[in-house]
Chain A
Amino acid sequence: MSQENVEAFKRFADANNRRDVKALLEELDTDVEWHSAVLSSLGGEATVHRGHDGVREMLRDLYEAFSEFQVEFSDIRDRGDRIVAIGRWITRGEGSGVEVTPPLASVVDFKNGKAIRVRSYLDPEDALVDAAMQE
C-alpha cells in the first residue's frame, strides 16, 4: 500500500501543477485536512481547510493569487501511511522571467489510498521533525 501512496502523492502533485482541481481532489479523502504553509505564512490565525469544498476554495484563491504554483519534489520518503516529500516551488522572478526555487516540504497522511491530512512547510527540516514527532 505504501508504494501506492507514493504514486498517489505524485499524481496529486502533478494535478496541482496542471491546476487540475478535479484530478487533485480525486487523491484526497472527503474528510481531508489541509494545513497550508503559504497561507499560514501570510499571518493571521492558522487556517485549516477541511473537506473537498475547503480545499477547492483554498486552491481557487492560491491559483488566483499566484501566476505560477508549481511544485517539484526531488525526495519522496515512504513512511507507510505517511509520505514526507521535500522539494521546491517553481516560480519566476518578478519581471526577469528567471526561474527561482524556494524550498517546500509536505507531510501527507493516507487512509485507504487517499490523503487524509496534508501539511506543507517552508523549511524541510520542520517537515522532518514534525513527521518524526508524530510517528
Chain B
Amino acid sequence: MHFTVRALLAAVGCALVLAPSGCSRSSETAGHSTYVLMQMNVCLSGLAGCYDRAAYPAVMEEAVARIRQARPDAITLNEACRSDIARIARRTGYHLRFSRVIYRRERLRCVRPGGRGLFGDAVLTEAPIERTDSQDFEAQAGIERRRWLCVTTRVDVDVCTAHLNTRSAVEVAGNDAQCVELAALLAGRAAARPVTFGGDVNRRDSCAPAGLWTRTDSSARQAPGLQHVYGSRALRSPSAEVVPARHTDHDVLLVRAHLTAPE
C-alpha cells in the first residue's frame, strides 16, 4: 500500500516541480523504491575540541542545507543537542526522536550557547514514527553511558543509531562489546522488518551482523572509516557518498539503497 501511494506522490511531485534532487527520496519504480540514509556526527555539545570548528550556528545551517539538498528518508545524528535537532527537524519537515546520553552519571547540557537542551543521539525520518526503543548498552566504559536508539517508521523500515565508545585505552573494551551487542540488536530487528543503521561506531571494523551490508565514510577527509551505515537484505545495491562537512569533525555519509517491496 505504501508503495502505491508513495509512487503516485513521487511521480506527481516530480512532474509538478521538475526538481530531480527533490525527487530522489524514495523515488519508486516497479517493486522497489530508493531509500536514502544520511549519517552525521554534528559535534554540538559545546565542550568537545571539534566545537571550535562548529562556529555555531554555522554547523546547524550546514546540516539543514545538506538535508534539504539530499532529502534523505532518514537522518541519524550523533553528538547532537535536543533543541538544535528539534529546530533542524522543524525546518526540514522531518519527524524526530532523541535519546539523551548520561555523562559522568548525569545528563549533559549543551553549552556555548546554553539553552540548546541535552546532549545525545537522534533519528529524523521522513515517514511518521510508530515506535521508539532506546536503551543503554550492557557494556560500558569511560564516563559516557553509550546507548542505542531505534525507531520503526510507517513505511515499515527500522532506523537505528548509536555512538559507541572510542578505541582509547580506557574505552576499547567497551567499543568491542558494544559492537557485539549492536550486531545482535540489528540481527533481531532485521528478522522482523527492513532495518538500517547509521552511527559513529568509532572503529573501522563493521559491527553489522551476518546478512547486513556495510558502507562507511572511509573516503572522508575527516576521521575516515568511523561512521558506518548498515542495511538488511530488503535494502539492496547500496551506494555510499561522502559529502564534505566544514563545521564538524566528521564528513556526511549518505547511502542510497533500493528498498524492495515486501513479498
- How distant is B138 from chain A, measured CB to nearest CB, in Å? 18
List, in ascending order, chain A residues with CB within 8 A of B166's CB.
43
- Is the Cβ of B105 less than 8 Å from the Cβ of A102? yes
Report B-chain residues with C-beta under 8 Å of the C-beta of A91: 104-106
For the complex formed, measure the closest distance between the CB of B7 and the CB atoms of chain A, giving whole angstroms.
Answer: 41
Report how many residues on chain A are interfacial, defined by Cβ distance under 8 Å: 27
Contact between chains at A122 and B111 (CB < 8 Å)? no
Interface status of A46 (Cβ within 8 A of chain B) = yes
B110 to chain A, nearest CB (A): 7
Residues 13 to 58 of chain B near chain A (Cβ within 8 Å): 43, 45-52
Chain B residues with Cβ under 8 A from A67's Cβ? Answer: 106
Q: Closest Cβ of chain A: how far from B220's Cβ, in Å?
A: 15
| Per-residue contact bits, chain A 9-36, to B (CB 8 Å; 1 contact, 0 not) | 0000000000000000000000000000
Given A38-B143, A126-B169, A126-B170: A100 and B46 within 8 A (CB)? no
- Is B142 among interface residues, defined by CB-CB distance under 8 A? yes
A94 touches B46 (CB 8 A): no
Determine if B48 and A44 form an interchain contact, defined as CB atoms under 8 angstroms apart: yes
State whether B106 touches A43 (Cβ < 8 A): no
Residues of chain B with a CB closer than 8 A to A66's CB = 103-104, 106, 108-109
A39 contacts chain B at the CB level, 8 A cutoff? yes
Contact call A122/B170, Cβ cutoff below 8 A: yes
Nearest Cβ on chain A to B213's Cβ, whole angstroms: 27
* CB-defined contacts of A42 to chain B, threshold 8 Å: 45, 47-49, 79, 103, 144
**A64 and B102 within 8 A (CB):** no
Q: CB within 8 Å of A: which of B212-242? A: none
Q: How far does the Cβ of B88 sit from chain A's closest Cβ, in whole Å?
A: 20
Given contact pairs A61-B47, A64-B111, A91-B105, A122 touches B143 in the complex (Cβ within 8 A):
yes
Which residues of chain A are within 8 angstroms of B111 by Cβ–Cβ distance? 61, 64-65
A89 vs B12: C-alpha distance when bound (angstroms): 59
CA distance A94 to B104 in the complex (A): 10
Query: Within B139-163, which residues are at the interface with A (CB < 8 Å)?
Result: 142-144
B249 in the interface, Cβ–Cβ < 8 Å?
yes
B91 at interface by CB-CB < 8 Å = no
Cα distance A4–B25 in the bound complex, in angstroms: 67
Q: Please indicate the chain A residues that have their CB under 8 angstroms from the CB of B114 in the complex.
A: 64
Could you jot down 9 A-B contacts, CB within 8 Å? A42-B144, A61-B111, A65-B46, A65-B110, A66-B103, A67-B106, A91-B105, A123-B169, A123-B170
Which residues of B line the A interface, CB within 8 A? 43, 45-52, 79, 102-112, 114, 142-144, 166, 169-170, 249
* Given pairs A94-B105, A94-B106, A122-B170, 7 additional interface contacts (CB within 8 A): A38-B143, A39-B49, A44-B49, A44-B50, A45-B50, A66-B108, A126-B170
A binding-site residues for B, Cβ under 8 Å: 38-47, 61-62, 64-68, 89, 91-94, 100, 102, 122-123, 126
